[in-house]
A = this chain, B = another copy of it.
Amino acid sequence: MGRVWTAALVVIGDEILSGRTQDRNVAQIASWLNVQGIRLAEVRVVADVEAAIVKAVNALRARNDYLFTTGGIGPTHDDITVDAVAVALGVGVVVHPEARAILEAYYADKGGINEGRLRMARVPEGAELIVNRMSGAPGIRIGNLFVMAGVPHITAGMLDALTGTLEGGRPLVSVTIGAFAPESEVAELLRSAEQANDGVSIGSYPFFKQGKVGGNFVVRSEDEALARRVSEGLGRDLEAAGYTVTVGGI
């Protein structure tokens, strides 16, 4: 196996911690990172509080290849991510001329630029923009740090702009099989399959469907052929134990 590239994510927002908003960026960014050959190693959700953001950013950017943040880059008073990231990096905040031009053009027929809108052109000194085709306000890249929107479809546009631009390793491949097998009946079988195969991990995810309990069993590896082989072996073991296996999961 080659080098493993890792990323971390800081989700910024009182609305996530209050339960008002169901986060969707963790799953979205995790899936996108997998395709880039990068593993999401850890996530923290923090409040709209500068000290909390600074602490999380500094802890996670040091020990991962990449660090993403989501949330807090809009025009309102509770959008403090740019200032907090600048504090974390020990740099000032400047108005990025290209961001200003993008926003002036975007708002030309919507009442023009104002103080709130100009806030979205502010970046930590030395940052580049991540162009956002979905709305005016760009994302921000500075060093290994990627500052993204909180609204999931805007984040999606920013990820799209970054696709293929980050160095990564081999994508992690997941092969799933499902069976109406209570995981408590097949735990030993799963454990043996994982222990017998270096370079794979097997996850077990129980469900209750059609009035019956069952599990989806996910074999993960950087080696796709190995993942498929182990999954097929596990499928045969489950069939031998009397369960009907559904490739792709239930």
Measured CB to CB, the residues of A under 8 A from B are 11, 14-24, 26-34, 39-48, 52, 74-78, 107, 110-111, 114-117, 119-120, 151, 172, 174, 182-188, 190-191, 194-195, 201-206, 218, 220
Contacts and interface: CB of A to CB of B under 8 A. Distances in A.
B15 A185 contact: no
B21 A40 contact: no
Contacts of A195: 77
Contacts of A194: 77
Contact of A17 (B41, B46, B78, B114): B41
A27 B18 CA distance: 7
Given A17-B26, A17-B43, 20 more contacts: A11-B43, A14-B220, A16-B26, A16-B27, A16-B30, A18-B40, A19-B28, A19-B34, A22-B24, A23-B27, A41-B47, A42-B46, A42-B52, A44-B44, A74-B204, A74-B206, A75-B184, A77-B190, A77-B191, A115-B188
Nearest to A14: B203
A203 to B, nearest CB: 6
A201 B14 contact: yes
Contacts of A183: 74-76, 116
A177 to B, nearest CB: 14
Contacts of A45: 26, 42-45
Taking each of A24, A182, A195, which has the highest tally of chain B beta carbons within 10 Å of its own beta carbon? A182
Nearest to A193: B77
A188 B42 contact: no
B15 A205 contact: yes
Nearest to A56: B42
A205 B76 CA distance: 10
A44 B47 contact: no
B203 A78 contact: yes
A124 to B, nearest CB: 20
A198 to B, nearest CB: 15
Contacts of A78: 201-204
